[in-house]
Amino acid sequence: MKNVSNVDKTESIESLQSTIRKLEKALLQMTQNGANITLVKKRLNAAYIGLSVLENVWNQKPHHYTQVDLTEARDVLIGLFPSIQNTYAKLKAGSPQKTLLERRIKSLELAVQAIDDISTKHQY
């Protein structure tokens, strides 16, 4: 995690913040429509944790998550990769959507790596 450029750090944090905003909007819409919100809530929580962990590692901001929270978030974030990569593969090179997904993938990879790093430090 030490060799991440400041540009990548900024883009990753902004990407996770964007992901959180999208998930919050989806949660609101689905709640209003009476849809099942379990999956969206899990993904939103995982995105919050991912952002918090990156801010902890890069900006020394404290996080209040347990090892169980971190492990669950890691699993949910990893579970997002197949659908994002599938969508990514269908997009045209150089398109804004492809750039957005590149940043999202990078931010999720870094969040998972940060969770792994924190988890390793706290094992006895």
DSSP conformation letters of 112-124: HHHHHHHHHHT--
C-alpha distances out from residue 99 to 38, 74, 96, 114, Å: 29, 23, 5, 22
Give the model confidence (pLDDT) of 4-24 as tens digits: 999 999 999 999 999 999 999
| 35 is a domain residue | yes
The encoded tokens of residue 70 equal 């971190």
pTM (two decimals): 0.92
| 37 is a domain residue | yes
Count of domains observed in the chain:
1
Of 31, 49, 50, nearest in space to 40 by CA? 31
Give the model confidence (pLDDT) of 73-92 as tens digits: 999 999 999 999 999 999 99
| 114 is a domain residue | yes
Give the model confidence (pLDDT) of 16-71 as tens digits: 999 999 999 999 999 999 999 999 999 999 999 999 999 999 999 999 999 999 99
Determine the pLDDT at residue 70. Answer: 97
| 15 is a domain residue | yes
Give the model confidence (pLDDT) of 109-123 as tens digits: 999 999 999 988 765
The domain spanning residue 110 has which CATH number? Answer: 1.20.120
Measure the CA–CA gap between 64 and 67, rounded to whole angstroms: 10
Helix axes 96-121, 6-32, angle to 10 degrees: 100
| 1 is a domain residue | no
Domain that holds residue 24: 6-121
